[in-house]
Every structure is written in structure tokens, then in C-alpha cells.
Amino acid sequence: MPKQTQELIVVTGASTGMGASAARELARRGFHVLAGVRRDRDADTIRSPGIEPVILDITEPEQVEALAARVAGDPRALHALVNNAGIQVNAPVEALPMAQWRRVFEVNLFGHIAVTQALLPALLRSKGRVINISSIGGKAAMATYGAYAGAKFALEAVSDSLRREVASLGVQVVVVEPGGIRTEMASRGVATANHLAAQMTPEQTERYGSLVQANNTLMAAGTASGVTADAAARVIAKAVTSRKPRTRYTVGRDAALIIPLIRMLSDRTLDRVLAANLRRYHPKETTA
């Protein structure tokens, strides 16, 4: 029997998209996957051989504690934690309500830290690994991406710090940085952006209305041309199973090209590149 059949993997945010695909790919490779979902109907959808759904909202301490107890009570070793749960909320810095800022950071940063803290004792015992799903937005913050990119930048920093803390203890920390992925997350992000835009003041709409529309169009285009969730899942599985994983993996051609470019360009040059790219998506002015 393969060694993997005796090991657990936790995947958060496994209801749809990359999380669901990663859970299926890892189960196919012989692991027993605890797939975190928020609703019973999502549990029914993801449940299959090798995949055990667990109700998990990573911002709810009681559910995080229940997950840790489930892992602690299993005789199998915890091989990896895949911190994948996330939401996308896009709006100009001026116009995004503080409650939304806090929600984005609770889900995209603090929730991951809470799950990591809860499962680190098990990972230390098994000399396992933490896989944090970041984003190309963790390297470049486009206009209206302040909250989302801010949380992803912070997740990158936390990952670096954690890696340097636990490497000598046998735990590896890996960051996965996807670009455009064909999942439901982008369509939900566009809907959220439109909802938030409708709440802007007339002055804010005058300042940022066309910018929001342009970013929505760009987001939809980037998603349509992106890789599939299954392709992303194979990269995640590589990070989980490689004997000596890299500290970072990109997903998709756009991430592989843009992330190295970011390191080379000055801030002003990058500003011009991003603005020129976005300009193509601004709504055309109509005349009577």
C-alpha cells in the first residue's frame, strides 16, 4: 500500500475551484483529504473515495478547533495543510467600507493563520508542510485591488517568516502564486465589485466608475484566458508531494511571466505598464 494512503491532507476552501480540484487530485494520488467546506450541500458534492468533507469556516474559531481535534484524533500523520480558502473584493481604497477591509483580511490572512496555528503541532510531529495559496496579486497590487492584494502581500510575508521559523524543525512552507484561473471566483469578484460600486457616492463614481468597469472587464478576460482549476491543482499537488519543494510555485503563463518582470521594473515603470494594459479595457465614451 502506498505511503500516501496512511497520511492526511487538509484543504481549506474546497467547495469549488482550485480547492475542489486539489482535493480530488490529492485523493487520486492516495491521500485521505479533509476537505473544508462551508455548507452541507457542498459537502455532499465533494464527498467521494479519499475525500472526507468537514464543515469549516476558517474565520470561526469553534470550527477551526473542531478540525484540529479531528486531525489529532486520527492515527494517520498530517502530511500537509493547503490554505486555499479566499474571497475577492475589489474597490478603490477610498470607497471600500472598513467592514469589507476587515472581512477580506479575516478570510484571506487571519483565517489562514488561525488554521496554521491549530494544525502546526500535528505538522511538527509529522514533519509535514504548509502550502499557502497566494496570487499574482501578492506581488503586484493593481488599482482597486488594495484589500485583496494587501492580504496576499501579507500572506507572502507571513509565509516567509513561518518558513524561517520551522525549517529547522522539519516543516516546509511553500507558496503557490496563481495568475488567471478559470474558476467561479472571478465572476463572484465582478459581482461584488459591481455591488460595491453601486454604493459609491456620486463624486466617487465620477472619479472611479470607469476604472472599476475596466478592471471588471480585465478580470473577466484574464480568467477566460487562464488555466483550468485542474491544471492549478496539479501544481498544488507537486508542492505537496515533491521531496524537496521549491519555496514558491507560479501557476499559469501570466504569473510565470509577470512575477519575474515585477522584480526588474521600477515602481513608476510598472505603474505605466499596468495603466497602459488597463487603458484597453476602459469603456468607450459614447456621443449623442
Within the chain, where are the H helices? 17-28, 40-46, 61-72, 98-105, 111-126, 146-166, 184-197, 202-224, 229-241, 253-264, 267-279
Q: Which amino acid appears at position 177 of this protein? A: E
Q: Which of 91, 51, 284, 83 is nearest to 191 (CA)?
A: 91
CA–CA distance from 75 to each of 3, 54, 69, 213, 265 (Å)?
14, 18, 12, 52, 50
CA atoms of 72 and 143, how far apart (whole Å): 43
148 catalytic? Reply is: yes
CA atoms of 65 and 69, how far apart (whole Å): 6
Q: Which of 86, 84, 42, 87 is nearest to 190 (CA)?
A: 87
- Residue 232 has a CB neighbour count (10 Å cut-off) of 28
Q: Which three cell numbers stand for residue 67?
A: 478540525
Q: Which three cell numbers stand for residue 132?
A: 499557502
Catalytic residue among 148, 208, 249, 281: 148
**Distance from the first to the final alpha carbon of the chain:** 72
Q: Which three cell numbers stand for residue 149?
A: 492584494
Enzyme catalytic residues: 148
